[in-house]
Amino acid sequence: MFETLSDRLSSVFTSLRGKGRLSEEDINTTAREIRLALLEADVALPVVRTFIARIKERARGTEVSKALNPAQQVIKIVNEELVEILGGQTRDIRYAKTPPTVIMLAGLQGSGKTTLAGKLARWLVAERNTPLLVAADLQRPNAVTQLQVLGERAEVPVFSPEPGNGVGDPVAVARESVEYARRQNHNVVIIDTAGRLGVDEEMMRQAADIRDAVSPDEILFVVDAMIGQDAVTTAEAFRDGVGYDAVALTKLDGDARGGAALSVRHVTDRPIMFASTGEKLDDFDLFHPDRMASRILDMGDMLTLIEQAQRTFDESEAEDMAKKLASGDDFTLEDFLEQMQMVRKLGPIGNLLGMMPGMGQMRDQISNVDEKDLDRITAIIRSMTPAERANPKMINGSRRLRIANGSGTQVSDVNGLITRFFDAQKMLRQMKGGGGSGMPGMPGM
Ligand code: GDP
């Protein structure tokens, strides 16, 4: 799901890579590209407008950050705004104070309503509930049987009209089911109602009658994500005709674009509560806006790292280091060590590659340093005297042997480190003046 949007957004971010600071023109271009990506994903126009306005406003307002480069800042903003547009918080079921909690499903025929009833029942069982499924869809031939089959698979009993009772009255069935659930200690009732191929008045009236008869604790509007923007129109019709508390999105697995998912919340002002992502009973879960957003951005790891970097980097710490690095001459082994420790606080080195601002060009050099290597380097530097750390040139043969013994390493390790340090210092001098923004990379590593 969301493949198209993911691809488009990731190329937008790629084009920002390496920029030192975002100009007004950069922001406009980026906003325009994100706008196109959203429109292509079939996101409703009002949603696109709001989204873009927020992105622009926030991108203009961002401070130059020591921890994040502009591309990362934009990713962060887009992520946060995606979470917002998807509803912010995860919305769970509001259980009734006195059971049973009555959940009513409404939606078009073919939206996946009956399948969703079975999935929801199964999910509720996993959450330690004792649900009852109710077949109040007496319009569609087979709907009752379909629910019975699903109920069997989910191991949840199904309340249905007695066979031979004619067509049956869905309102009566719904009402009786709630009584039955109370007597049988089912703490949740899931009522599957009839759908039509299109929105029509009779269907709306029937759903409204069931609603009035059982006063549901939650009315879920079930909508097929694959119908894209039509989902928005249908959602509005149901909101006006029956009303609902939350949305259940089905067939997200078949939705390569994401328009419905991204539009429904904003347009209806109702949260998306559940997402259904396949035909199997287990392809179902609460809808988590934050997880969905990082899925759309297709960069879960990156987002975690961005947060980590921000949390870990004390801005002033980074600033001090940046100043020191700007003048390669003052760069001592002490700084070398300090900088390494700073990087290390961020977690596994491998994940950091290319993530840290200004580090892109150092990527290859860093990728072959592992944690053990860092431990060894730390031990070696700690075995040096302050004078040696400040002025590594004074470290002659006998000092090298002493340092190797003190740190439990070989003289060749000490030699290697000193060589790397001098290389780093040289590189810093070369970089001087040409530096980008943010935290400089770890030279020589
Ligand atoms: P109803 O008419 O609204 O009750 O819809 P159904 O529950 O009968 O579902 C219609 C069709 O969609 C069935 O073939 C289901 O197997 C299929 N379906 C339902 N949910 C999903 C889903 O999340 N993903 C996919 N791929 N198919 C689904």
Q: Per-residue pLDDT tens for 376-434? A: 888 999 999 989 998 889 999 999 999 999 999 999 999 989 988 887 777 666 655 44
The domain segmentation of the chain, as residue ranges, is: 3-89+298-303, 101-287, 314-431
Distance, in Å, from the CA atom of 5 to the CA atom of 34, rounded to the nearest integer, reads 9
Level-2 CATH architecture, domain 314-431: Orthogonal Bundle (1.10)
Residue-level pLDDT at 295:
82
Lowest mean pLDDT of 21-25, 48-52, 438-442, name the range.
438-442
Q: Looking at the domain 101-287, which fold is it?
A: Rossmann fold (3.40.50)
Q: How confident is the model at residue 57 (pLDDT cuts 50, 70, 90)?
A: very high
**pTM for the structure as a whole:** 0.71
pLDDT in tens, 106-126: 999 999 999 999 999 999 999
Q: Are 200 and 113 in contact (CB under 8 A)?
A: no
SS3 of residue 138 by DSSP = coil
Reduced to 3 states (helix: H, G, I; strand: E, B; else coil), residue 159 is: strand
Instruction: Report CA(293)–ligand 1 centroid distance (Å).
Output: 24
Predicted pLDDT at 315: 58
372 versus 156: the higher-pLDDT residue is 156
Lowest mean pLDDT among 171-185, 220-234, 328-342: 328-342
Residue among 300, 289, 284 nearest 261 (CA): 289
What is the number of the ligand 1 atom nearest to the C-alpha of 276? 23
Domains 3-89+298-303 and 314-431 belong to one CATH topology? no
Query: Band of the pLDDT at 443, cuts 50, 70, 90?
Result: very low
Give me the residue label for tokens 């196109």: 36
Strands 284-286 and 158-159: unpaired
Token pair listed for 19: 């920029």
Average pLDDT over residues 167-174: 87
Query: Residue 125 CA to chain centroid, in angstroms?
Result: 26
Indicate if the pLDDT at residue 342 is higher than 90: no
**pLDDT at residue 82 greater than cutoff 90:** yes
Atom 19, ligand 1: residue with shortest CA distance: 112
- What pLDDT is stored for residue 422 in this prediction? 84
Q: Residue 38: its pLDDT value, please?
A: 93
Residue 264, pLDDT score: 92
Is 98 annotated as belonging to a binding site?
no
Of 327 and 197, which is predicted with more confidence?
197
Query: Best of 138, 250, 274 to mutate for ligand 1, by most ligand atoms within 8 A of CB?
Result: 250
Q: What are phi and psi of 301, to 5 degrees?
A: -65, -45
Over the stretch 288-318, which tens digit does the pLDDT of each residue have?
999 889 888 876 556 666 666 666 665 556 6
For 3-89+298-303, CATH gives 1.20.120.140
Question: Distance of alpha carbon 66 from its chain centroid, rounded?
Answer: 24
Token output for 294: 């990082």
Give 420 Cα–ligand 1 centroid separation in angstroms: 61
State the greatest distance between any 2 C-alpha atoms of the chain, in Å, as a whole number: 102
Pocket residues for ligand 1 (CB within 6 Å)?
107, 109-115, 195, 250-251, 253-254, 276-279, 283
C-alpha span between 257 and 296 (Å, rounded) = 10
| Ligand 1 centre distance from Cα of residue 67 (Å) | 46
The residue to mutate among 144, 197, 279, having the most atoms of ligand 1 within 8 angstroms of its beta carbon, is 279
Question: How many angstroms separate the alpha carbon of residue 265 from the centre of ligand 1?
Answer: 21
Atom of ligand 1 nearest to the CA of 113: 3
Band of pLDDT at residue 357, cut at 50, 70 and 90: very low
